[in-house]
Amino acid sequence: MAAQDGRLRVTSEALTNMKIIKLQSWEDKFKNTIASLRDVKFKWLKDSQITKSYGSAVYWMSPTVVSAVIFAGTPVLKSDPLNASTIFTVLATLRIMSEPVRMLPEVLSVIIQVKVSSDRIGQFLLKDEIKEEDVKRNPLQNEEFCVEVRNGVFGWDLNATIPSLRNINLKIRRGEKVAICGQVGAGKSSLLYAILGEIPKISGSVSL
């Protein structure tokens, strides 16, 4: 499941940023990365299927093997006379026990999946809440500015000593086309997320 999550995460990122990947000619790099993750997943799937085949063989052979061992050991150890009542009792007991024994691996598998799912839900629910009041949304009327940020301070991590964005003052007039430029990691995407209200606001005001 961890291998599958890794492959899906990288594939999702590649599909989301396909335009940038094509623009920078990074197709081979991402293709090789996804292919390597697929190989890891295939390895786990192969091991899982081989183990399941062994388990199926053991399950179908175990009644015969166990019965043969019991019936062979009974006269050797002289623990009980090998008659019809003993044979039918042993066979009935083995038949009753076979179903719980067969279901045990499936139950363990389901328990593992439930634990993984509950951990994911727990991590999601424990994330910081985004407050709706961080962004004041007004109906589009006769205002001169459609986007306005005053003394904005934003941070992805509220416990960090240095916020992600500081002293942001931005006004965009209605009908303007605005380009946000800067170096990699300068905070261009963070600024857009801040305007959308998807980054916790530490101070300042944002209105749309």
The pLDDT tens digits for 82-100 are 778 777 887 888 888 877 8
Residues 95 and 188 in one domain: no
Q: What is the average pLDDT value for the chain, to the nearest integer?
A: 83
* 15-48 tens-digit pLDDT: 888 888 888 888 888 889 889 999 998 999 999 8
Contact yes or no for 135/197 (Cβ under 8 A): yes
Tell me the β-bridge partners of 147. Answer: 172
Rounded-to-integer distance, Cα 71 and Cα 87, Å: 8
Overall number of domains in the chain: 2
The stretch 171-194 carries a mean pLDDT of 85
Domain limit, last residue, from 125, 147, 166: 125
Q: Degrees (nearest 5) of the Cα angle 96, 49, 109?
A: 55
Structure-token match 């594939």, residue found: 11
* 111-162 tens-digit pLDDT: 988 998 898 888 888 876 666 566 777 776 666 778 888 888 888 877 777 8
Q: Which CATH number characterizes residue 187's domain? A: 3.40.50.300
Domain limit, last residue, from 84, 104, 125: 125
Residues 138 and 80 in one domain: no
Helix or strand (DSSP H, E) at 169: strand 165-173
Residues 144 and 109 in one domain: no
Query: If pLDDT is split at 50, 70 and 90, which confidence band does 174 have?
Result: confident
Q: Which domain holds residue 55?
A: 2-125
The stretch 153-173 carries a mean pLDDT of 84
pLDDT at 133: 62
